Amino acid sequence: MHQGATENDIRYSVLVEDLFQLRSQVSRTRALSTIFKRLTQVPSDYVKLIATGNTDIRRYTILFLVLREHRLLRM
């Protein structure tokens, strides 16, 4: 997404090349749709940090996004 690939390009790469390394096609499709739902709600700046940041930046960005989404975890 960060590099400008379309959803169809990403879907093809994940499902055909088995990037998630899941056994069944159904599992791959389900995981991909969940990830697309979550990433479309995230501002592009955070997607860029997840895509290009070092390991710690990626982890903290994902943690921040989870905390932002789920109030229960913030308390």
pLDDT in tens, 9-64: 888 888 888 888 888 889 999 999 998 888 888 888 998 999 898 999 999 999 99
Same domain, 58 and 75: yes
Same domain, 47 and 36: no
Same domain, 36 and 8: yes
Nearest-angstrom CA–CA distance, 60 and 49? 10
Q: Given this model, what pLDDT does residue 61 score?
A: 93
Q: How many structural domains does the chain have?
A: 2
Same domain, 50 and 18: no
Q: Given this model, what pLDDT does residue 74 score?
A: 67
Same domain, 61 and 32: no
Q: Given this model, what pLDDT does residue 58 score?
A: 92
Same domain, 24 and 55: no
Q: Given this model, what pLDDT does residue 70 score?
A: 80
The parent domain of residue 67 ranges over 42-75
Q: Given this model, what pLDDT does residue 30 score?
A: 93
